[in-house]
């Protein structure tokens, strides 16, 4: 059974999961990783979720304010040997619920074209492709999504 913990980016388990995420993204993105890395600092994330199974942290995600009506979903990750169990979807739903509780109406996110599993998850969960926003405008490898959550 998956338990969810709402926390922030100072949580040691969140920090470790993000370290694993960054290592995987560095492999997938190759030389593009340093570009994306600048947008993925976790120091100021006040809303992070950790998925825990059998007292082991197995996944994470976070949201941060993007506009007065939208949050950005950040740092979504599930450890490799726990994938395919629906954990990412559980985390994403919790982040959407938290965004709604905080008064936001939309969740936006960016993912890379080299992350087909992430793209499939977001489409399955009702996210629609949108024009690349903010720092991702004009970035060929980026795909941006949005979902209305109110």
User: What are the tens digits of pLDDT across the range 59-86?
Assistant: 999 999 999 999 999 999 999 999 999 9
CATH number given to 2-148: 3.40.630.30
b/e burial code for range 21-58 (CB count within 10 A of at least 16 → b): bbeebeeebeebbeebeeeeebeebebbbbbeeeeebb
> Domain-by-domain residue ranges, the chain?
2-148
Q: Kindly report the length of the chain.
A: 150
- Report pLDDT digits (tens) over 82-138: 999 999 999 999 999 999 999 999 999 999 888 899 999 999 999 999 999 999 999
């Amino acid at each position: 059974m998956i338990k969810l913990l709402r926390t922030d980016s100072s949580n040691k388990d969140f920090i470790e999961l993000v370290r694993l995420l960054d290592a995987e993204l560095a492999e997938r993105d190759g030389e593009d990783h340093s570009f994306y890395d600048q947008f993925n600092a976790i120091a100021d994330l006040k809303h992070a979720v950790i998925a825990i199974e059998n007292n082991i942290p197995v996944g994470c995600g976070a949201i941060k304010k993007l506009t007065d009506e939208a949050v950005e979903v950040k740092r979504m990750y599930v450890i490799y040997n726990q994938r395919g169990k629906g954990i990412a979807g559980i985390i994403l739903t919790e982040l959407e619920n938290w965004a709604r509780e905080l008064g936001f109406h939309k969740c936006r996110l960016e993912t890379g074209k080299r992350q087909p599993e992430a793209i499939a998850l977001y489409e399955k969960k009702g996210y629609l492709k949108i024009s690349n926003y903010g720092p991702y405008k004009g970035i060929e490898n980026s795909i941006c999504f949005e979902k209305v959550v109110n």
